[in-house]
Structure 1
Amino acid sequence: MPMKPLEHDRRYGELDQVLRAYLGQPADDEEGRRSAALDAYLRHTWHTRPWAVAVAEQQLRQYAENPPGRLRLRLGEFYPVPDVGLPESEIQDWLRLLADHLKASVEDGDVPPPAAPATHWEWHARFPELAQFLGGWFSQDMPDEFADHDAAVADYLSTTDPSLVARLAGEVAELLALELEEEDCAVALAELGMEIDPPAPYSPTGWLALLAERVGDAGRHGEDR
């Protein structure tokens, strides 16, 4: 019988967040050097949930010291470590290494400096509502569902709770504040789920600036619903 959600989160919830940060990224941590994936986890988590770093350290270490036995494996009552490109024989030592890095980060105050997201996980962790908006309204199917980009934005505004619209406005402003080059901004939009180009004649940053104005006005004055 698989674990119930409450038990899973109590035992493995933050461990799961750390390991998700490695999807699509190399698990190339070494003693004295963190991977880009772990830096991304720390950069975001220190800023949003600093207490969770210590929870992650504890859960990683406990899992490494007490891997699931045959009974739990047979019953399905265990956390399946995702494929991070390491041989199974190296996983426990790698988890201990991650726990050591997290412990050192907490004890020494060693926090990655603010920067633009560096991984797919970090983009989505930092801009969750923007990812929902772009992935849901600007997928490759958008031209079949809406007349144009403005119609897609209007549909989002008319069907989304105002608190989430306000959150989107903040995330768009935050993304613009990173002052990315156009090429990097296009990569960011793609990472966040946008599968079509901005409308002509706008560049990625130009369209984001237009979107910020449209969404900001909707938040201040309300949108027809």
Structure 2
Amino acid sequence: MPMNPIEHDRRYGELDQVMRAYLGQPADDTEDGPSVALTAYLRHTWNTRPWSLGTAEAQLREYARNPPGSLRRRLGEFYPVPDVGLPESSIQDWLLLVAGHIRDSVERGEVPLPSVPATRWEWHARFPELGQFLGGWFSQDMPDEFGAGDDAHDAAVADYAATTDPQIVASLVGELRELLALDLGEAEYGLAVAELGMEVDPPTQYSPSGWLAAVAERLGTLQAGYGPGAASS
């Protein structure tokens, strides 16, 4: 029978995070250096969960050296490595190469420099609540729920604020301000919101960054109403 969640995480939890970083990205790591996908994983993980890097390296090596046999495959007791565009015969060597780059990064203290997210995985890893907000309230289905026109954006923001725990709304406000602090060009902000799941254009009077700033201000104002003494004010 398939593994329970605890057993899965113990054996493959961080391996799965590494593999997710490659979705939509080429697995073109070489002996000379890591791929864009692995660099994005290293940059984010160094910044948020550096203790996980050793676990990732160990799980990658263990999987490469002891790939699942036919019995474990039949029972479902294994982690299926996603298709990364490599022939099956090359997967074990590639996993060991990736593990080696992670080990080198840790042992040498080589931390990728801060940067704008380089992959879809990194955008969502760095801005998880913003991805939930844009992908959940501003998908192509938004007009079916909130109507058409610029007022629909206001209705969607209001619905998010009314149905989401205030602490999570506060997390979103922080992520919006962090994204705006990257000081990108408008085309780059347009790409960022698309990577994070937004499938409709901002209201006509706003640029992408202008709309993000307006949402941050509106939700931040609502957050101020949750503070001490708000109920009596």
Q: For 1:37 and 1:176, how far apart are their aligned partners in 2? A: 24
* Aligned match of 1:159: 163
Counterpart AA for 1:143: P
TM-score by length of 1: 0.97
Equivalents in 2 of 1:205, 1:76: separation in Å? 46
Offset of residue 145 of structure 1: 1.1
Report the 3-state secondary structure (helix = DSSP H, G, I; strand = E; otherwise coil) of the residue aligned with 1:80: coil
Q: What does the per-residue CA deviation read over 1:48-96, in whole Å, with 9 as the maximum and x for residues that have no partner?
A: 0000011100000010111111211121110100000000000000000
CA deviation after TM superposition for structure 1 residue 220, in Å? 1.4
| 1:179 alignment counterpart | 183
Matched AA of 2:134: L
Q: Distance in 1 between matches of 2:13 and 2:223?
A: 34
Q: Where does residue 190 of structure 1 map in the other structure?
A: 194
How much does 1:200 deviate? 1.2
Q: Is 1:39–2:39 an aligned residue pair?
A: yes
State the partner residue of 2:230. none
Distance 1:219 1:155 in 2: 15
Distance 1:179 1:52 in 2: 30
Aligned length: 223
Alpha-carbon shift at residue 222 of structure 1 (Å): 3.4
The one-letter amino acid of 1:9's match is: D
Q: Tell me, in whole angstroms, the C-alpha distance in 1 between the residues paired with 2:166 and 2:16.
A: 31
From 181, 200, 205, the equivalent of 1:201 is 205
Q: Within 1, Cα distance between the matches of 2:92 and 2:2?
A: 22
Aligned equivalents of 2:32, 2:56: Cα separation in 1: 19
Letter of the aligned partner of 2:88 in structure 1? Answer: E
Which residue identity is paired with 1:172?
Answer: L
Q: Aligned equivalents of 1:216 and 1:201: distance in 2?
A: 21
| Identity of matched residues, % | 71
Counterpart for residue 153 of structure 2: 149
Distance 2:117 2:125 in 1: 9
RMSD of Structure 2 on Structure 1 (CA): 1.0
Partner of 2:127 in structure 1? 127
Per-residue CA deviation, residues 130-182 of structure 1 (Å, 9 max, x unaligned), is 00000111011112211411111000000000010000000000000111110
Aligned to 1:78: 78
What are the equivalent positions in structure 2 for 1:7-156 lying under 5 Å apart? 7-147=7-147, 148-156=152-160
TM-score of the aligned structures, taking structure 2 as reference length: 0.94
Alignment partner of 1:8: what SS? Answer: helix
Q: Which runs of 5+ in 2 are unaligned?
A: 228-233
AA partner of residue 127 (structure 2): F
Query: For 1:105 and 1:219, how far apart are their aligned partners in 2?
Result: 40
Tell me the CA shift for residue 199 of structure 1.
0.2
Please list every run of 5 or more consecutive structure 1 residues that lacks an aligned counterpart in the other structure.
none
Deviation of residue 32 (structure 1)?
2.1
